[in-house]
Amino acid sequence: MLQLKKFIFILLFFIANSSIAQIDTITFRIEPDLASFKIKCIAQKIIGDTSDFQLSDTIGSAFTFNWNGTIEPTIDGVPIVTYEFEAAGDYVIDLSVYEDATGKTFPVSKTVNIQDIIRVPNVFSPNDDTINDLFIVQSNGVTPIEMSIYSRTGVMVYRSKAQTIVWDGRTSSGLRASEGVYFYILTTDNPDIYRTGFIHLFCPDCDKLD
């Protein structure tokens, strides 16, 4: 599963206390999951008015993290939470950090836009060496993809509609496509999703196969 990674930094500013070091900034990042409308939120750093800590340094110390999502086991002691949504849209993610030293809770909220994710590679080599043999267009599996692939002369060589497009480099008649550059048109049932681009089919020895 490929993961497409996106970093969101959230700044919190609080009134300084002259006698006790307080939190100035909390950061966390959000990672989309290609397989579904799912993201992971990973707490990253606490910055105080006198010092700052990587989250891995604060485990067992005086901070408690509370998310409004489904808590997963920590990774290397870093607080992580998973959110999974039923549809695309805007959603609010909440994090609050409780500090034992001050007895205060520091909240932060962020709106994240969840949308269809489609990843299209631009090169593959269908030479049966098991390395990058397939041209695979991946999505989060919610919206079916329709893709048409054309030769440089405008002849359609492949067409498919599915949640995941897999092209093995053969034409609709079952023949191996020639090495070269191909043009594609990608659409979905969502009229806002329309994409075009080029694919480089690299296979200098394909004429010797089969």
Give me the CATH code for the 23-114 domain, please: 2.60.40
User: Measured between alpha carbons, how far is residue 209 from residues 1, 104, 157, 206 in Å?
Assistant: 30, 69, 19, 5
Q: State pLDDT tens for residues 20-60.
A: 456 677 776 666 555 567 788 877 666 665 545 544 444 45
The pLDDT of residue 11 is above 50: no
Residues with Cβ within 8 Å of 162's Cβ and at least 6 positions away in sequence, in order, are 144, 145
Neighbours of 150 (CB within 10 A): 16
Instruction: Give the global pTM.
Output: 0.53
| Best CA proximity match to 32, nearest among 6, 8, 10, 9 | 6
Domain chopping of the chain, boundaries: 23-114, 118-208
Average pLDDT rounded to a whole number, residues 158-186: 91
User: CA-CA distance, 126 to 179, in Å (whole number)?
Assistant: 10
Q: What is the pLDDT of residue 25?
A: 72
Task: Spell out the CATH class of 118-208.
Answer: mainly beta
At residue 158 the predicted structure's pLDDT band, cuts being 50, 70 and 90, is: very high
Q: Tell me if 6 sits within 8 A of 41, measured CB to CB.
A: no
The reply to whether domains 23-114 and 118-208 share a CATH topology is yes
Residues with Cβ within 8 Å of 113's Cβ and at least 6 positions away in sequence, in order, are 89, 90
User: CA-CA distance, 140 to 3, in Å (whole number)?
Assistant: 11
Q: What is the CA radius of gyration of the chain?
A: 24
Q: State pLDDT tens for residues 115-132.
A: 777 889 999 999 888 888
Q: What is the pLDDT of residue 61?
A: 58
Q: What is the pLDDT of residue 156?
A: 95
